[in-house]
Amino acid sequence: MAKKYKQGDPAPNPATYPKNSAGKAAYQADYKAWQTAQTPKTETLDVPPILVPGKTPGSQLSLDAQQAKDWFQFTAPKAAKGSPTRKYYDNFIARLAAAGIPKDKYNSVWADAVSWTQARESGSKGDPALYQFNSADYADKSAGSKAPGTSKSKTSTTTKYSASGAGADVNKATVSELGRTASSVEAAAYLKAVNEKAALEPSVYENTSKTTVTGSGASGVSNTVTTATQSTGFDPTIFAQNFARSLPDYAESFAAKNMLKIIESLIGPDRTAIGKVVQ
């Protein structure tokens, strides 16, 4: 009876066996047992064969993964209508169509179904038709760019005036309306007031895009029309002018300006006539 060996045990040494026929037979039996122990054991995967309908009712064909994929792509679509093969194929396609999966993804779904049948403990029973696919995994990624709809955007912009910028505006207004530049107190008051008013009247940009699609799927043609409006918002020139006119000495300056206009209208283009008017 041969000895028992484990993987990794040293090989039997023929020198330790009797130099006769019995010793030779014992050595050969032990060496064979040792060789068997050193051979790696492979675990058989618990997966069923891939089954698709055969050519006659009630029969099935057992294929490997690549053969099953080729069967779906090249054989099943050309099978005679009403045959088990064609019925199986048409039923699978109908499920895909009902789920909204694009036609160019049908082979991909079937390939995944075949892989699923060979996944250990998947519960497939070897039938790819039992595969529960997620339609979102096979959606047409390009369809998103051709979806009809309307999008809107709105941007409000508020101008914040610096001390130098506001000072230049108010000085220009007071020189025009009062004949003098603004004092430091007036300039500081204007800076505060102009920024508060500007915050209440922002410039607004509104954009509306409307997309329409002619056709469907990847062959659809999209057309986008965009319209935009822009409001000017706050007007610092008018505000500076009104600010200057609200100052206490504006009434005096206004009266003086009007008096000069009256005199100019009386003397006409001859500026030397002012003496006569005074006399």
Condensed to tens digits (0 to 9), the pLDDT of residues 97-140 reads 999 899 999 999 999 999 998 887 777 788 899 899 988 888 77
How sure is the predictor about 256, in pLDDT bands with cuts at 50, 70 and 90? low
Whether the per-residue pLDDT at 177 is higher than 80: the answer is yes
Q: How far apart are CA 48 and CA 29, in angstroms?
A: 37
pLDDT score, position 258 = 63
Average pLDDT, the chain: 82
pLDDT score, position 278 = 43
Q: How far apart are CA 157 and CA 199, in angstroms?
A: 9
CA terminus-to-terminus distance, the chain: 157
Closest CA to 149 of 79, 240, 224: 224
How sure is the predictor about 215, in pLDDT bands with cuts at 50, 70 and 90? low
How sure is the predictor about 6, in pLDDT bands with cuts at 50, 70 and 90? confident
Token output for 155:
């941007």
- CA dihedral 106→128→111→140, nearest 10 degrees, is 30
Whether the per-residue pLDDT at 279 is higher than 50: the answer is no
Token output for 98:
């009902």
Does residue 42 or residue 240 have the better pLDDT?
Answer: 240
Q: How far apart are CA 240 and CA 250, in angstroms?
A: 13
Instruction: Write out pLDDT tens, residues 141-166.
Output: 654 445 667 888 888 888 899 999 99
Q: How far apart are CA 265 and CA 258, in angstroms?
A: 11
**pTM for this structure?**
0.39
The beta-strand segments (E) located in 129-279 are 149-157, 203-214, 221-231
Cβ count near 197 (within 10 Å)? 16
Whether the per-residue pLDDT at 274 is higher than 80: the answer is no
User: Please, how many CA atoms are within 13 Å of residue 106, restricted to the half-sphere of its CB?
Assistant: 18
List, as one string, the DSSP characters of 66-104.
Answer: HHHHHIIIIIGGGSPTTSHHHHHHHHHHHHHHHTT--GG
Q: How far apart are CA 63 and CA 48, in angstroms?
A: 11
Q: Domain coordinates of the chain in residue numbers?
A: 1-42, 50-140, 147-247
Strands 203-214 and 149-157: antiparallel
